[in-house]
């Protein structure tokens, strides 16, 4: 427990969903907050409409964390006056349904259950016939990413400094100094939530983060006819439609449906893409999948999202934080759903409560327990 004053002055680097969630939690605890953002809030890895909120993870600790984060998403909806997660639910189909369902049933408050082919067709009428193993995560749904980012950025507008952070330096008194294009500021604590920018800032304070960078693409499609009244999110590991790592989520009013493969395209350490055709191949595979699996959608995509991915070595759902005097740095992937929960823990560490044991790198949060997954 370090002696951070109650009215601490905390700097947050990055106005993506994790930085905004951390800044909100800090303000709710009475801290003075400055959020540094070199671009537009929410235009980095948090960009684009809709994300899947799911409870299913290989690590039971992350299942419980997702359950707790889901509760905070509801609180945000009340406090921000917006829908944060749609009531559509999240479907999982494929051979690992039983194993995932067993993990979900071990955690209270999720209520996941098996569904048969008829109910599956009602929950996701866009999907072609499928009579294999399937379950519904009723508290899952599509995260309203754009509305959430806009509401948080508006609520935190006075804290935002649109400037690039070139360096963070630890200074005396357990505090940290931020140097941007136009200023030098010393804060009681700095939380680095800079997504793809975090490893470089970490390296400048002598910390090598085990982050593997890659690139990813997701296509958005429109319904062939009238938007359905219900369109659950989908995780398809079945292979029945030619792919085993599919995720998909509806946009507002079910007017769009975004579909991506969990595969990514490799990147060299200098950030250059290794195989120039990889993203195009991934996009083409997603379009072929939609033509086979989702006859309720028009075959031609109406939107695309390309992005950087920052994964930890122990799981594509891995997340961890590095804590030093005056400094906290966070890294991981698939963080949108966890951001309300994660932001609270990062704020707690910045205010001297100590870093939650689950976020310690050696805890490898997100990794399947030994002998499983
Ligand atoms: C297509 C796609 C699908 C996804 N699907 C899901 C899903 O279904 N469920 C899920 O939970 N997650 C999903 N994710 C992952 C999730 O979106 C990310 O993990 C999350 O948005 C990361 O948020 P962040 O705040 O850490 O990073 P970012 O949103 O990248 O924010 C970091 C911010 O820091 C700023 N920054 C960086 N360096 C500096 C600097 N030096 N100075 C000032 N500012 C700086 C950047 O401009 C950026 O705005 C998906 C991601 C993509 C792209």
Cβ-based burial of 201 (10 A; exposed 0-12, middle 13-18, buried ≥19): buried
Give the span between the Cα atoms of 62 and 57, in whole angstroms: 6
For residue 56, report the distance from its CA to the centre of ligand 1, in Å: 21
Best CA proximity match to 48, nearest among 219, 271, 290: 219
Distance CA 331, CA 18 (A): 10
Decide whether any atom of ligand 1 lies within 6 Å of the 195 Cβ.
Answer: yes
| Cβ-proximal residues to 356 (8 Å cutoff; 6+ apart), any chain | 345, 348, 349
Distance 44 CA to ligand 1 centre (A): 5
Q: According to the model, what pLDDT value does residue 1 have? A: 46
Q: Which letter does DSSP use for residue 140 in this model? A: -
Measured in whole angstroms, the distance separating CA 36 from the mean position of its chain's CA atoms is 20
309 alpha carbon – ligand 1 mean position (Å): 8
Q: Are 34 and 176 in contact (CB under 8 A)?
A: no
**Which atom of ligand 1 approaches the CA of 44 most closely?**
30
Distances from the Cα of 164 to the Cαs of 16, 199, 334, in angstroms? 14, 15, 24
Is the beta carbon of 237 within 6 A of some atom in ligand 1?
Answer: no
Query: Residues 6 or more apart from 369 whose CB is under 8 A from it?
Result: 59, 60
Q: Which residues of the chain have pLDDT under 70?
A: 1-6, 372-373
Q: Order of strands across the sheet with 184-187?
A: 165-171, 175-180, 184-187
Which ligand 1 atom lies nearest to the CA of residue 200? Answer: 41
pTM score, whole prediction: 0.97
What is the best residue among 12, 16, 85, 301 to mutate for testing ligand 1's pocket, by most ligand atoms within 8 Å of CB?
Answer: 16
* Whole-number Å distance between alpha carbons of 188 and 206: 20
| Gap between the Cα atoms of 74 and 144, Å rounded | 12
Element (H, E) at 35: strand 32-37
| Residue of 142, 215, 219, 334 with the most ligand 1 atoms within 8 Å of its CB, for mutation | 334
Pocket test for ligand 1, best of 13, 197, 330, 341 (most atoms within 8 A of CB): 197
pLDDT of residue 264: 87
Q: Please tell me the distance between residue 193's alpha carbon and the centre of ligand 1 in angstroms.
A: 9
Q: How does DSSP classify residue 197? A: G
285 close to ligand 1 (CB < 6 Angstrom): no
Cα–Cα distance list, 80 to 65, 72, 84, 302, 353 (Å): 22, 12, 9, 30, 27
Distance 213 CA to ligand 1 centre (A): 12
346 lines ligand 1 (CB under 6 A): no
Q: Which domains does the chain have, with CATH numbers?
A: 10-45+148-209+315-363 (3.50.50.60), 90-138+212-311 (3.30.9.10)
Which atom of ligand 1 is the closest one to the Cα of 333? Answer: 19
CA of 334 to the centre of ligand 1 (A): 9
C-alpha of residue 181 to centroid of ligand 1, in Å: 22
């Amino acid at each position: 427990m370090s002696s951070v004053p109650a009215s601490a002055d905390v700097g947050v680097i990055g106005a993506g969903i994790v930085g905004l969630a951390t800044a909100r939690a800090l303000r709710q605890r009475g801290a003075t907050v400055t959020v540094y953002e070199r671009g537009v809030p929410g235009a980095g890895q948090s960009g684009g409409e809709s994300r899947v909120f799911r409870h299913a993870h290989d690590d039971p600790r992350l299942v419980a964390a997702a359950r707790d984060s889901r509760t905070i998403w509801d609180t945000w909806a009340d406090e921000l006056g917006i829908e944060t997660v749609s009531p559509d639910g999240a479907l999982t189909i494929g051979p690992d349904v039983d194993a995932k369902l067993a993990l979900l049933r071990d955690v209270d408050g999720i209520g996941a259950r098996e569904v048969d082919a008829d109910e599956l067709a009602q929950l996701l009428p866009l999907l072609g016939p499928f009579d294999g193993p399937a379950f519904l995560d009723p508290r899952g749904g599509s995260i309203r990413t754009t509305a959430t980012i806009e509401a948080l950025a508006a609520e935190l507008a006075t804290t935002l400094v649109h400037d690039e952070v070139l360096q963070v330096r630890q200074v005396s008194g357990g505090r940290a100094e931020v140097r941007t294009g136009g200023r030098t500021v010393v804060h009681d604590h700095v939380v680095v939530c800079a997504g793809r920018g975090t490893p470089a800032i970490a390296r400048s304070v002598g910390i090598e983060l085990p982050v593997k960078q890659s690139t990813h693409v997701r296509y958005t499609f429109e319904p062939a006819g009238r938007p359905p009244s219900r369109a659950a999110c989908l995780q398809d590991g079945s292979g029945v439609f030619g792919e085993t790592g599919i995720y998909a989520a509806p946009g507002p009013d079910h007017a769009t449906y975004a579909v991506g493969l969990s595969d990514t395209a490799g990147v060299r350490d200098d950030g250059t893409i290794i195989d120039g055709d990889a993203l195009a191949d991934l996009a083409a595979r997603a379009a072929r999948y939609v033509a086979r699996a989702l006859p309720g959608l028009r075959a031609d995509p109406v939107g695309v999202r390309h992005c950087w991915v920052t994964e930890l070595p122990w799981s594509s759902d891995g997340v961890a934080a590095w804590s030093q005097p005056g400094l906290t740095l966070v890294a991981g992937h698939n963080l949108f759903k966890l951001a309300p929960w994660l932001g609270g823990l990062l704020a707690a560490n910045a205010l001297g409560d100590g870093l939650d044991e689950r976020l310690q790198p050696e805890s490898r949060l997100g990794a399947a327990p030994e002998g499983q997954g």
